[in-house]
C-alpha cells in the first residue's frame, strides 16, 4: 500500500470531482492545473449558465472549487503542467513545471482530466466565415455575451431581429477528421436560444440541425422547452455556407422537410462548435504513454463497463479527455476515477 | 394552396407579345424554389388563438402524416401544416384549413400532443369571423341558421319521413311540456331528410316498436345537433343549436336520449354541457341496442347470409372510444360473416364527411386524387364483403356514391346496421 | 358617398305556399319569410364599395314587421354602417305602391345611391328600382353585376343575354338594381350578430300610403294545375316500347 498522494491533472469539473472524491475517501490528492484558476472550460470560456439546469456557471463551479480548496487533503498547484514521469505503478515520480521552476512529486496513482478544446471554425471545410464576418460567432462567444446579460450583433452593438444556430460545426465530419457527435451542442444551443429569447423576446431564433441530439432528459428539459415555451424554431437541414448581403448574413442550405433550398437572411449566426481532445490531453497521453482510441481521445480498457481505466497501470482518466462528455459524464467519471485510483493505491 | 404556387411552373393561358402568340407552354416560367425567408407570422398568429396553442409543439416526426386520411389521397397532415406556417402561409386564409376532417387519427399518434381536434375548429372560428369561409360551407351555415338543418330543407317537413308509419309515432313537437317517454330519440338531419336516411329511420322505428320501447321524437322542433357547425368554426350558431335542442331535452322527461348520428352523440355528450350546464344520458343507438341484445337476438330470427364488413365512424370510435357496441350487434346478425377491414377500430380510415367535410367535396377535390370515401370503399371491396355496414348517417350516401365511383355496384351494398337488424326481424 | 340598400322579406319557397280562402292572396299565416336573395346581393355590393373606400356609409332599410330586426342586425353584422326600419302606415296593395313607399323613406333618409335587388319572388317584373327612381327623379340601371364609384359618377356593369357585357356611367344620385354582387353575399356569424344586437341600435323611418287604391286587381291566385305525372321506366327496353307505341321507333 502506497501512502503517496494521488495526482489529479486538470482542474475542471472532472478533476475537481476526482480530487474531492479522493479527499473524501481519506487520501491525499495533488491537483495540478495549467491555468492560474480552477474550474476548467466553464470558467475559462466564461459560460453564462450550466447545461442543462441553467445554474449560474461561476456560482456553481465556485462551490465545486471551494469544496476542493477548503479540503486539507487536497494540495492545489496552479499555473503548472506535468512534464514527465518516472517509475511505475504505486511509486511514480512526476515532474511538475511551474514557469521556470519545477519539482518532483511521488504519487501512488494518476487521474488525467485534461478535458477538451472547442473546435476552431476557421478550419471548417464549410464556408461559415467565422473570421470574416463579425456577426458569425460561436457558442462560446454567445456564452460570453449571455454572461453579461446581453445579446447583440457584434458588428453594430444592436439587438438582432433574427438569430440562428448551426449545429454540428466541426463534428460528425469525416473530411475534417472528427467523426464523432460532440454530444452537448444540441442541448447547449437550445439553452442559449432560450437565454437569447429571455433577453430578446421578439427575436426570431432558429436552430438548423442534421439530427437533433438532445439525449436523455435534455429532450424535454431543453429541446421541447425551447420550442414550446420559448418559441424557438427548429429547422431540419444544415447550412452549407454563409454570405453577406448588406448588413445581413445569408445562410444557404436546404430545408429538408420542405425539400427546398433556402437562402435566409439572419442578423447573427451562432456556430455550434464541437469538442476535440485538448492540447493538454494530447500532451498527457504522450507523458504517460497512454494509447489513444480511434478518435484521438485517451483510450480506456473496459469498453462501456469501465470508463476510467487506461492500459497503463495506475493511470486513470475522467471527463472529456476520454471523448465528448457533458457535465454529468465528467463529474461521474471523476468520482469513479477517484474510487479506482484510491483502490489502486491501497493495493500497490 | 401555396405549395403549388411555389413548386409549379406558371404559364399564362393567353399572351400575345409583339403580335406573337406565346400562349400556354410557350410562356412557361418557373417560380424560384428557394425559400428566402422564414416568415413565421402565420405560426405566431395561429398559436396565439385560444385552443390552437399546441400547433407550436410539432417537431416534425411525421407520425401524423402517416396517419392522416387526407394524405393518402393528397398531400396533407399537421406536420406539413406546421411547416407551411413557418414559410409564410396564413392558415386562416388558406384552403389548407379546410382539408382536415377532424378524424383525430393524428391526435392518437402525436407524441407532442399537437391536437388538431382543437386547433382546426379554433382556427376556423377565426376564419369564419374574418369572412374566410368556403362557399360550400357558407351555404351550409346559411341553411342551418335559416332552417335548422344543413340541407336547406323546410323545418316544418322534418317529420315528413314518418308518413309511411302505420301505427302512430309519438311526435313531441306538438306535445305539452312534461310529456315523458322512456326514450327520447334525436332523429338527426340525415335520417329525417335523406332518402336512404329515411329507410334507416323507419327501420329504427320498427326495431323500437318490436322491442316495446316507449319512445318519442322531437319532430319539427328538433334542429341539427350542431357538431359540424362547431367544427367549421361557427361557435355562435352551435351555441344557439345546443340551447335550442337542450331546452327540448329538458321539456320532455326521459330515461335515455338515443341518437343515431355519432356527431350528435359527440356534441350532446361532450360539448352541450359546457353551454347549457346540463348533462344528458345520451347513448348512440348501437349502444342502446347492444344493451338490449338478448331481447334483440330473440327477435332476429331471419337469416342474413352475407359477408359483411364495418366502417368505424370517427366520432363514435376515436372521438368517443366506442368500438364494441356496433361489433356486438354485427356479431349477433344471424347468418352473417363479419370480416374486418385492415384499417379498423382505432386505425379506422375516415370517410371524409366529418369536420364539415360533408359539405366540402368541391374544395377538397382540388387537392386530392380521390374522395376519402372512395379510398375506404375500395378497402371494403377488397375484403370480399358484400355489405358495408355503417352506423353514421353521413356514410350511407357518401359510400353509396363511392361504390359507384369504384364500379362496385351490385358487388357491395351499403347498409345502416339498424337496417340489417330490422331485416332480420320477421313481421309479426 | 352614402348608399341606401332596400331590403325586402319575401316568402320562403322552401315552404309550400298556400292560397288563402279568398283565392286571391297567399295565406300569410302559413308563410315563412326570408330576406330576398337579390337584396342580399345588393347589400353585398354596397358593403364591397365601402370596403374598397368608394363609399362611406351603407344604410340598410327594411319595412318594419316580423323578422325586420333580424334582417337589419344581420346587415349590420355584415358591414352596414346604419340600419333603419321603415314603419308603413296603411297597406301597400301592389308592388308599385310598395315602391313609392320605399322611395318616400329613401328620400327622407337621403343618399347618393340606392341599391335594391333586381327582382324578388313576389316581384318578378323588377319594379322596385325603376319606380323608386321615377319617384325620386333619379336615373335607374337594373340587372347590374358590378359598380365602381368615383366622385359623383358611378361606372356600372351589366351583362346582357348572350354574354355581352356593357359598361354605363351614371351621375349620382342613382338607383341601381343589382342582379349579382361581385362576390357571393357574405355570411354573418351568429356571434357577430349577437354582438351587434347588444351594441347597435336600429333607427326608424316612416312612410305613409297616400297613393289611393291600386289600379290593379287580383282576380285569382292558384297553384298551377297538376299534370298527369311522370312515368318511371325501368330499362331501355321499356323506353323502346314507349317510343314504339308513340310510333317514333
Q: Which chains have at least 3 CB atom pairs separated by less than 8 Å from chain A?
A: B
Domain shared by A224 and A284, yes or no: no
Residue A129: phi and psi, rounded to 5, are 65, 35
Q: How far apart are CA A185 and CA A223, in angstroms?
A: 11
Structural domain ending residue among the three candidates A274, A296, A330: A274
Domain shared by A110 and A125, yes or no: no
Looking at the domain assignment, is residue A1 inside a domain?
no
Mean pLDDT of A201-225: 97
Q: How far apart are CA A323 and CA A308, in angstroms?
A: 11
Q: How far apart are CA B379 and CA B232, in angstroms?
A: 28
Q: How far apart are CA B270 and CA B251, in angstroms?
A: 20
Residue B414: phi and psi, rounded to 5, are -110, 125
Q: What percent of chain B has pLDDT over 70?
A: 98
CATH number of the structural domain spanning residue A293:
3.50.50.60
In b/e form, how buried is each residue of B287-311, taking b as 16+ CB within 10 angstroms?
bbbbeeeeebeebbeeebebebbbb
Q: Chain C closest CA to B246's CA: distance in Å?
A: 18
Of A206, A227, A228, the CB nearest to B38: A206
A277 three-state secondary structure: strand
CATH number of the structural domain spanning residue B223:
3.40.50.1860
Q: How far apart are CA A112 and CA A104, in angstroms?
A: 17
Would you give the DSSP letter of residue B54? G
At residue B5, does pLDDT exceed 50? no
At residue B19, does pLDDT exceed 90? no
**pLDDT tens per residue, range C162-188:** 888 899 999 999 999 999 999 999 999
B101 and B357 in contact (C-beta within 8 Å)?
Answer: yes
Of C14, C187, C189, the CB nearest to B154: C14
Domain shared by A107 and A168, yes or no: no
- Non-local (6+) Cβ contacts of B68 within 8 A are B76, B77, B78, B105, B106
Contacts of C184 in chain B (CB under 8 A): 135, 138
B146 and C208 in contact (C-beta within 8 Å)?
Answer: no
Domain shared by A262 and A318, yes or no: no
Domain shared by B155 and B269, yes or no: yes
Q: How far apart are CA B76 and CA A255, in angstroms?
A: 18
Q: Chain B closest CA to C186's CA: distance in Å?
A: 7
- Share in percent of chain C as helix, strand, coil (round to 5): 30, 30, 40
Domain shared by A131 and A257, yes or no: yes
Contacts of C32 in chain B (CB under 8 A): 154, 156
Contacts of C190 in chain B (CB under 8 A): 145, 234, 236-237, 239-240
**Most confident listed range (A116-130, B253-267, C156-170):** B253-267
| CA max distance for chain A | 70
Domain shared by B121 and B247, yes or no: no
Q: Chain B closest CA to A134's CA: distance in Å?
A: 22
State how many domains chain A has: 2
Domain shared by A183 and A209, yes or no: yes
Domain shared by B25 and B75, yes or no: no
Which of B252, B176, B268, B267 is CA-nearest to residue B214?
B252
Q: What percent of chain A has pLDDT over 70?
A: 100
At B279, the pLDDT band (50, 70, 90 cuts) reads very high
Domain shared by B188 and B114, yes or no: no
In b/e form, how buried is each residue of B150-181, taking b as 16+ CB within 10 angstroms?
bbebbbbbbbebbeeeeeebbbbeebeeeeeb
What angle separates helix B393-405 from helix B372-382, to the nearest 10 degrees?
Answer: 80
Q: Do chains A and B touch (3 or more CB pairs under 8 A)?
A: yes
Domains annotated for chain C, with CATH where assigned, are: 2-245 (3.40.50.620)
pLDDT at B11: 76
Q: How far apart are CA B325 and CA B313, in angstroms?
A: 12
Cis peptide preceding B292, ω within 30 of 0: no
Q: How far apart are CA C72 and CA C196, in angstroms?
A: 10
Structural domain ending residue among the three candidates B290, B310, B344: B290
Put simply, whether B2 touches A (Cβ < 8 Å) is: no
Which of B283, B351, B427, B387 is CA-nearest to residue B70?
B351
A260 and B35 in contact (C-beta within 8 Å)?
Answer: yes
Disruptive mutation site among A201, A254, A260, A269 for chain B (greatest number of B CBs within 10 Å): A260
Domain shared by B65 and B108, yes or no: yes
Mean pLDDT of A130-141: 96
Q: How far apart are CA A294 and CA A225, in angstroms?
A: 35
Q: Please give the residue range of the domain that contains residue A135.
A: 120-274
Residue A115: phi and psi, rounded to 5, are 70, -155
Domain shared by A51 and A196, yes or no: no
Q: Do chains B and C touch (3 or more CB pairs under 8 A)?
A: yes
Domain shared by B283 and B313, yes or no: no
Q: How many CB atoms lie within 10 A of CB B236?
A: 21
- Non-local (6+) Cβ contacts of B367 within 8 A are B1, B70, B74, B75, B76, B95, B99
Looking at the domain assignment, is residue B100 inside a domain?
yes
Q: How far apart are CA C210 and CA A52, in angstroms?
A: 87
The answer to whether the CB atoms of C14 and B152 lie below 8 A apart is yes
Q: How far apart are CA A43 and CA A12, in angstroms?
A: 9
Structural domain ending residue among the three candidates B290, B321, B353: B290
Mean pLDDT of B127-143: 95
Of A223, A258, A265, the CB nearest to B87: A258
Domain shared by B156 and B268, yes or no: yes
Q: How far apart are CA C22 and CA B124, in angstroms?
A: 50
Q: Please give the residue range of the domain that contains residue B59.
A: 41-132
Contacts of C187 in chain B (CB under 8 A): 128, 131, 133, 138, 141-142
State how many domains chain B has: 4
A280 three-state secondary structure: helix
Domain shared by B269 and B304, yes or no: no
C107 and C134 in contact (C-beta within 8 Å)?
Answer: no
Provide residues of B within 8 Å CB-CB of chain C.
Answer: 128-129, 131, 133, 135, 138, 141-142, 145-147, 152-154, 156, 234-237, 239-240
**pLDDT tens per residue, range B283-318:** 999 999 999 999 999 999 999 999 999 999 999 999
At B8, the pLDDT band (50, 70, 90 cuts) reads low
Domain shared by A247 and A170, yes or no: yes
Disruptive mutation site among B32, B35, B63 for chain A (greatest number of A CBs within 10 Å): B35
Question: In the sheet that A260-266 helps form, which strands lie side by side, from edge to edge?
Answer: A239-245, A248-255, A260-266
Domain shared by A14 and A106, yes or no: yes
pLDDT at B6: 44
- Phi and psi based region of residue A183 (left: phi greater than 0; alpha: psi -120 to 50; beta: remaining): left
Residue C54: phi and psi, rounded to 5, are -90, -15
Q: How far apart are CA B302 and CA B416, in angstroms?
A: 17
B79 and B114 in contact (C-beta within 8 Å)?
Answer: no
In B62-180, which ranges are E strands?
A: 170-171
Q: How many CB atoms lie within 10 A of CB A319?
A: 34
Q: Do chains A and C touch (3 or more CB pairs under 8 A)?
A: no
Total count of residues recorded for chain C:
249
Structural domain ending residue among the three candidates A213, A239, A274: A274
B31 and B10 in contact (C-beta within 8 Å)?
Answer: yes
Residue B280: phi and psi, rounded to 5, are -110, 150
Q: Chain B closest CA to C35's CA: distance in Å?
A: 10
Which of B363, B356, B365, B412 is CA-nearest to residue B384?
B412
Domain shared by A259 and A307, yes or no: no
Mean pLDDT of A330-342: 98
At C212, the pLDDT band (50, 70, 90 cuts) reads low
Mean pLDDT of A268-273: 97
Which of B387, B413, B384, B370 is CA-nearest to residue B74?
B370
Q: What is the DSSP string of B236-264?
A: HHHHHHHHHHHHHHHHS-EEEEEES-HHH
Judging by DSSP bridges, how do beta strands B282-284 and B254-259 pair with one another?
Answer: parallel
pLDDT at B4: 44
Rounded mean pLDDT of chain B? Answer: 94
Looking at the domain assignment, is residue B156 inside a domain?
yes
Q: How far apart are CA B123 and CA B52, in angstroms?
A: 7
Q: How many CB atoms lie within 10 A of CB C164?
A: 8
Q: Chain B closest CA to C7's CA: distance in Å?
A: 17
CATH number of the structural domain spanning residue B124:
1.10.1060.10
Domain shared by A236 and A156, yes or no: yes
At C121, the pLDDT band (50, 70, 90 cuts) reads confident
Residue C72: phi and psi, rounded to 5, are -75, -40
A94 and A7 in contact (C-beta within 8 Å)?
Answer: yes
The answer to whether the CB atoms of C190 and B138 lie below 8 A apart is no
**pLDDT tens per residue, range A285-330:** 999 999 999 999 999 998 999 999 999 999 999 999 999 999 999 9
Structural domain ending residue among the three candidates B97, B132, B167: B132
At A123, the pLDDT band (50, 70, 90 cuts) reads confident
Disruptive mutation site among C191, C192, C196, C198 for chain B (greatest number of B CBs within 10 Å): C191
At residue C214, does pLDDT exceed 80? no
Mean pLDDT of B180-204: 97
B419 and B195 in contact (C-beta within 8 Å)?
Answer: no
Q: How far apart are CA B75 and CA B66, in angstroms?
A: 11
Structural domain ending residue among the three candidates A274, A303, A333: A274
Which of B141, B31, B47 is CA-nearest to residue B90?
B47
Q: How far apart are CA B128 and CA B124, in angstroms?
A: 6
- Non-local (6+) Cβ contacts of A117 within 8 A are A275, A276, A277, A278, A279
Q: How far apart are CA B256 and CA B261, in angstroms?
A: 15
Domain shared by A26 and A133, yes or no: no
**pLDDT tens per residue, range A224-236:** 999 999 999 999 9
Amino acid at each position: 500500500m502506497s501512502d503517496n498522494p494521488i495526482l489529479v491533472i486538470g482542474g475542471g469539473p472532472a478533476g475537481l470531482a476526482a480530487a474531492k472524491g479522493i479527499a473524501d475517501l481519506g487520501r491525499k490528492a495533488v491537483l495540478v492545473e495549467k491555468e492560474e484558476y480552477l474550474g476548467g472550460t466553464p470558467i475559462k470560456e466564461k459560460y453564462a449558465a450550466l447545461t442543462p439546469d441553467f445554474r449560474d456557471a461561476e456560482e456553481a463551479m465556485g462551490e465545486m472549487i471551494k469544496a476542493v480548496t477548503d479540503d486539507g487533503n487536497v494540495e492545489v498547484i496552479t499555473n503548472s503542467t506535468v512534464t514527465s514521469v518516472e517509475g511505475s505503478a504505486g511509486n511514480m515520480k512526476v515532474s511538475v513545471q511551474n514557469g521556470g521552476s519545477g519539482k518532483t512529486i511521488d504519487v501512488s496513482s494518476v487521474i488525467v482530466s485534461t478535458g477538451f478544446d472547442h473546435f476552431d471554425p476557421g478550419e471548417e471545410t464549410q464556408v461559415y466565415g467565422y473570421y470574416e464576418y463579425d456577426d458569425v460567432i460561436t457558442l462560446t462567444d454567445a456564452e460570453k455575451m449571455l454572461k453579461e446579460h446581453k445579446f447583440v450583433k457584434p458588428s453594430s452593438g444592436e439587438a438582432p431581429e433574427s438569430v440562428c444556430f448551426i449545429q454540428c460545426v466541426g463534428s460528425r465530419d469525416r473530411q475534417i477528421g472528427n467523426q464523432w457527435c460532440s454530444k452537448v451542442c444540441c442541448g447547449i444551443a437550445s439553452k442559449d436560444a432560450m437565454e437569447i429569447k429571455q433577453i430578446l423576446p421578439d427575436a426570431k431564433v432558429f436552430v438548423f440541425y442534421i439530427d437533433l441530439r438532445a439525449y436523455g432528459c435534455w429532450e424535454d428539459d431543453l429541446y421541447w422547452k425551447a420550442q414550446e415555451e420559448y418559441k424557438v424554431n427548429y429547422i431540419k437541414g444544415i447550412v452549407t455556407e454563409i454570405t453577406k448581403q448588406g448588413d445581413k448574413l445569408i445562410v444557404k442550405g436546404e430545408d429538408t422537410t420542405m425539400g427546398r433550398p433556402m437562402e435566409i437572411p439572419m442578423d447573427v449566426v451562432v456556430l455550434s462548435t464541437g469538442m476535440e481532445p485538448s492540447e493538454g490531453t494530447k500532451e498527457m497521453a504522450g507523458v504517460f504513454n497512454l494509447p489513444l482510441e480511434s478518435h484521438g481521445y485517451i483510450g480506456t480498457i473496459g469498453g462501456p463497463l469501465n470508463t476510467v481505466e487506461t492500459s497503463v497501470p495506475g493511470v486513470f482518466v475522467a471527463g472529456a479527455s476520454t471523448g465528448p462528455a457533458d457535465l454529468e459524464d465528467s463529474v461521474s467519471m471523476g468520482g469513479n476515477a477517484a474510487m479506482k485510483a484510491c483502490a489502486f493505491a491501497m493495493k500497490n | 394552396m401555396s405549395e403549388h404556387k411555389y413548386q409549379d411552373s406558371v404559364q399564362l393561358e393567353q399572351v400575345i407579345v409583339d403580335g406573337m402568340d406565346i400562349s400556354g407552354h410557350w410562356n412557361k416560367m418557373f417560380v424560384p424554389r428557394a425559400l428566402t425567408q422564414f416568415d413565421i407570422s402565420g405560426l405566431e398568429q395561429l398559436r396565439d388563438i385560444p385552443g390552437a396553442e399546441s400547433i407550436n409543439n410539432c417537431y416534425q416526426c411525421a407520425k401524423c402524416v402517416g396517419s392522416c386520411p387526407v394524405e393518402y389521397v393528397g398531400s396533407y397532415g399537421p406536420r406539413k401544416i406546421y411547416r407551411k406556417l413557418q414559410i409564410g402561409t396564413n392558415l386562416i386564409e388558406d384552403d389548407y384549413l379546410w382539408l382536415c376532417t377532424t378524424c383525430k387519427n393524428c391526435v392518437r399518434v402525436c407524441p407532442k400532443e399537437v391536437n388538431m381536434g382543437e386547433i382546426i375548429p379554433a382556427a376556423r372560428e377565426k376564419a369564419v369571423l374574418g369572412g374566410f369561409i368556403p362557399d360550400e360551407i357558407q351555404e351550409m351555415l346559411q341553411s342551418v341558421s335559416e332552417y335548422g338543418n344543413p340541407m336547406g330543407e323546410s323545418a316544418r317537413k322534418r317529420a315528413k319521413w314518418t308518413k309511411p308509419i302505420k301505427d302512430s309515432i309519438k311526435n313531441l313537437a306538438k306535445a305539452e311540456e312534461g310529456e315523458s317517454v322512456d326514450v327520447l330519440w334525436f332523429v338527426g338531419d340525415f335520417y329525417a331528410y335523406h332518402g336512404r336516411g329515411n329507410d334507416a329511420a323507419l327501420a329504427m322505428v320498427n326495431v323500437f316498436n318490436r322491442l316495446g320501447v316507449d319512445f318519442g321524437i322531437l319532430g319539427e322542433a328538433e334542429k341539427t345537433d350542431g357538431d359540424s357547425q362547431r367544427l367549421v368554426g361557427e361557435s355562435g350558431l352551435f351555441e344557439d343549436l345546443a340551447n335550442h335542442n337542450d331546452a327540448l331535452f329538458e321539456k320532455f322527461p326521459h330515461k335515455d336520449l338515443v341518437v343515431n348520428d355519432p356527431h350528435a352523440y359527440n356534441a350532446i355528450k361532450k360539448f352541450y354541457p359546457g353551454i347549457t350546464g346540463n348533462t344528458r344520458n345520451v347513448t348512440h343507438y348501437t349502444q342502446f341496442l347492444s344493451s338490449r341484445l338478448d331481447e334483440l337476438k330473440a327477435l332476429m330470427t331471419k337469416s342474413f347470409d352475407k359477408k359483411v364488413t364495418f366502417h368505424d365512424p370517427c366520432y363514435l370510435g376515436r372521438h368517443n372510444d366506442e368500438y364494441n357496441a356496433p361489433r356486438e350487434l354485427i356479431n349477433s346478425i344471424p347468418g352473417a360473416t363479419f370480416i374486418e377491414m385492415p384499417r379498423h377500430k382505432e386505425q379506422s380510415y375516415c370517410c371524409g364527411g366529418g369536420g364539415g367535410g360533408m359539405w366540402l367535396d368541391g374544395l377538397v377535390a382540388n387537392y386530392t386524387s380521390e374522395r376519402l370515401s372512395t379510398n375506404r370503399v375500395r378497402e371494403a371491396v377488397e375484403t370480399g364483403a358484400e355489405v358495408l355496414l355503417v352506423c353514421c348517417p353521413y356514410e350511407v350516401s357518401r359510400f353509396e356514391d363511392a361504390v359507384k365511383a369504384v364500379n362496385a355496384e351490385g358487388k357491395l351494398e351499403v347498409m345502416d346496421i339498424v337496417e340489417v337488424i330490422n331485416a332480420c326481424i320477421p313481421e309479426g | 358617398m352614402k348608399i341606401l340598400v332596400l331590403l325586402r322579406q319575401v316568402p320562403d319557397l322552401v315552404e309550400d305556399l298556400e292560397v288563402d280562402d279568398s283565392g286571391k292572396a297567399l295565406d300569410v299565416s302559413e308563410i315563412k319569410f326570408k330576406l330576398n336573395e337579390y337584396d342580399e346581393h345588393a347589400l353585398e355590393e354596397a358593403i364591397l364599395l365601402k370596403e374598397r373606400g368608394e363609399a362611406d356609409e351603407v344604410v340598410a332599410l327594411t319595412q318594419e314587421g316580423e323578422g325586420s330586426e333580424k334582417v337589419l342586425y344581420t346587415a349590420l353584422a355584415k358591414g352596414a354602417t346604419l340600419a333603419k326600419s321603415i314603419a308603413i302606415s296603411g297597406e301597400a296593395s301592389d308592388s308599385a305602391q310598395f315602391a313609392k313607399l320605399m322611395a318616400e323613406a329613401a328620400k327622407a333618409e337621403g343618399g347618393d345611391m340606392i341599391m335594391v335587388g333586381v327582382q324578388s319572388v313576389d316581384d318578378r317584373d323588377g319594379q322596385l328600382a325603376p319606380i323608386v327612381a321615377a319617384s325620386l327623379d333619379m336615373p335607374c340601371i337594373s340587372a347590374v353585376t358590378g359598380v365602381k364609384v368615383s366622385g359623383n359618377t358611378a361606372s356600372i356593369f351589366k351583362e346582357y343575354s348572350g354574354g355581352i357585357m356593357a359598361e354605363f356611367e351614371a351621375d349620382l344620385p342613382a338607383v341601381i338594381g343589382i342582379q349579382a354582387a361581385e362576390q357571393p353575399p357574405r355570411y354573418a356569424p351568429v356571434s357577430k350578430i349577437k354582438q351587434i344586437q347588444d351594441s347597435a341600435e336600429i333607427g326608424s323611418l316612416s312612410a305613409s300610403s297616400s297613393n289611393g287604391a291600386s289600379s290593379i286587381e287580383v282576380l285569382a291566385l292558384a297553384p298551377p294545375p297538376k299534370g298527369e305525372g311522370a312515368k318511371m321506366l325501368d330499362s331501355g327496353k321499356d323506353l323502346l316500347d314507349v317510343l314504339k307505341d308513340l310510333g317514333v321507333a
